[in-house]
Structure 1
Amino acid sequence: MASLVAVSGIRTATADTVPAPVSAAKSETRYFEGDYKVSLNLYSFNVNLNAWLKGRKGAPPIDTLQAIRFAKEAGFDAVDVTAYYIPGYDNNTMPTKPRDEIMQYAREIKELCRELGLEISGTGAQNDFADPDDAVRALDVERLKFWIDVAAEMGAPVMRVFSGVVPNDIDQLGWETIARNRIVPPLRELADYGAARGVRIGLQNHGDMTATADQTIQILRWVDSPNIGIIDDTGYFRPFRSTTGLGYDWYRDIAKVLPYSNNFQVKKKPAGAENDVLMDLDRLFTDVRLSAYRGYIPLELLWTKDEPTNPKGLTEPPYDQISEFLGKARASLARTKTEPFEAIDQSMGRYAASGELRGPAYAQLRNASAQAQHHFEHGRVDESVRKLRIFVQRLDATNRPSEISDNAQQTLSQQANALIRSLTDVFGPQGSAAG
């Protein structure tokens, strides 16, 4: 892999540290048809867990071990045990309980997961490295080091951290100065500390100082450590300083950080919980399978306070909603296991057998599809996309009922256009690798 772009005054990442994506034009491309392990992020039970931890009213309580048992019963493969739900955690101070007591609880979590046959996909803690106060950032570093120790004790492979909210002096100093001078140094320190403890650091894009894929990747490059990656949060890519992702190409950003990702947060809504746009899971998971990502797929549900389905207004924790989302995710992962070119070929075969696709149209479409697949398998994604567009054009030009039915035409067009979108998501408009 080639070295990343040098930035004046900052160590530059090399092929031996932060992984850089490989150009599809220079390598073979493969589609992953295997299985991903699906994890439950316990933040999905946030109001219920806080009802237990903090005695908050308005939601039925559930404790962390109960939430883990539910994950097993629901059919998850793993859990993401956010540190918020370990007694003694505090967002702003060092732990409020003795170290030994917290470590004992971490061991209980680890042992319960072992007994249940669940894996621990990760954990996370809150921080704000963009805060102008040096003392606040220094305390956050020490806090996160403690919770990295807990992650190691618990057996969590990744510690999720944040960049920080956009500070009041952003207009005065600018994004780059704040990112390089405030955010990068503590992330580098934590990456080094985590490496010594066997815990990788995951920087989560969160609509703040890491609102876009480019911002998140740039910070990663400045940190320049092999022990830090990106938590690919599908619900928080948006224009910098925007309160919503509506109108933004979030699929492109989700795909763009895939070569750097060491974990995920899959949300129901890509533009933010306050909007009604739902994630196209088939497009998302096709993009993931086109990439080299082979890690966990953690799911996280969020609600706005006024939603009728908000757990605060329910008589029991949101078991049914979580199970429903898991079912949809598993169904999509199963659908997308079939390599897209093979899926198109299978559709053409079915329509040919039923007489809905025949004559010159069948031969021309099979030829265009085969050429597109050949180019893809040999790393020529731009040529593959071009051939797929020819495939769609021929579909549109074939209007003789004797050669193709409306149903066949519509289905094949949808399949081909979906593949074009995913190839463009992952490899860029011209077929070059994202990044």
Structure 2
Amino acid sequence: MLFRYPNKKDGVHMFSFSISTWSMRQSLGPLRWTIWNEETKNQEIREEWKPQELELTDLPMEAKQNGLSYLEVCHFQIPSTDASYLAELRASFESASIGFLTLLVDYGDISSPDNIRRESDIAYLCGWIEAAAKAGATAVRVVAGEQPADDAAAIARSCSALKQLALYGAERGVRVVTENFRPLTATLSSWSTIMNNVGSIVPTIIDFGNFQPSEKANGISHGASMAHSIHAKPNYLPDGSVDANELAIMLRILKDRGCNVPLSIIADKGETRWDQIDAIKSLISVL
């Protein structure tokens, strides 16, 4: 059964709002990217400097004050997986009365034909599921795979691993979800094949910005009934403003399909960390 969120008032469809911490990447300090080292056959971390204007543990309260109901947190912005830090992070969400919707793990190729790589990445993802449980996250987003979208064997490997990870998560009270994100799910055909195979045990994030333009409307419509959250990344017009007409079309599809999961605003512009997020949220509220 998919999570459903109470966001209808007097019969009118209303969206609850979230952000991905990707929208805060200029404020939360270093980005700790995970990569695969082919020589050592293991994961390693490469750090990219970013300014530290805000501690991650201070973000839930700030987000609540800015009208959000949930947060989705990128794994590479979590500075530590020590139990003490994860407990502190959990407490920051609880004290702010805001939901830790998803821990977004941006690394892993569970579709790899390399058995060592695939099994190592599955174990790595299990570690993040454990971290999510300690931090109080509802779900962990797992990348379906980095192999080409037309690779049927890779799709089969991905589906098997997603089911394995979903069971691991369920035993720890964490939902495993995936997304139309990265090469294996680059087409509506490959993404829908995976989603149809894994069924309701692995819902999906729908990212507006990751569809091929010709498949965007059909992709949103297809995924609406399986959605865990929506990554509402708008297109921008040449003058830098949000393409409100296209955004309205995407939101209408969700409304018509009865999709009432949280909208995570993905913002790439703005003078401060909140002005563009607030502008997109205000626009969505009137569309």
Normalised TM-score (structure 2):
0.80
Q: Secondary structure at the match of 1:130?
A: coil
Shift in alpha-carbon separation, 1:67–1:202, aligned structure 2, 3 A: same
1:31-430 aligned within 5 A? 33-51=12-30, 56-57=48-49, 59=51, 61-88=53-80, 101=82, 103-125=83-105, 126-166=107-147, 174-180=150-156, 182-224=157-199, 226-238=200-212, 245=213, 248-269=214-235, 278=243, 280-302=246-268, 318-332=273-287
Alpha-carbon contact 2:132-2:174 (below 8 Å) kept: yes
- Deviation, 1:148, is 1.1
Which moved further from structure 2: 209-218 or 277-286?
277-286
Instruction: Give the CA RMSD over aligned residues.
Output: 3.0
Give CA-to-partner distance per residue, 1:159-212, whole Å, 9 cap, x none.
Answer: 111122235xx8xxx5212211x3122111101111212222211102521023
Where does structure 2 lack aligned partners over 5 or more consecutive residues?
Answer: 3-10, 33-45
- Deviation, 1:276, is 9.0
**Is the helix fraction higher in 1 or 2?**
1
Distance 1:80 1:278 in 2: 24
Distance 1:188 1:59 in 2: 38
Give CA-to-partner distance per residue, 1:313-360, whole Å, 9 cap, x none.
Answer: x7xx5222222222222333xxxxxxxxxxxxxxxxxxxxxxxxxxxx
Where does structure 1 lack aligned partners over 5 or more consecutive residues?
Answer: 1-16, 19-31, 89-98, 239-244, 304-308, 333-435
Q: How many percent identity over aligned positions?
A: 21
Alpha-carbon contact 2:30-2:77 (below 8 Å) kept: no
What's the counterpart of residue 95 of structure 1? none
- Deviation, 1:60, is 5.2
Normalised TM-score (structure 1):
0.54
Give the letter aligned to residue 121 of structure 1.
L
**Is the strand fraction higher in 1 or 2?**
2
Larger Rg over CA atoms: 1
Give the letter aligned to residue 114 of structure 2.
D
Aligned residues: 263
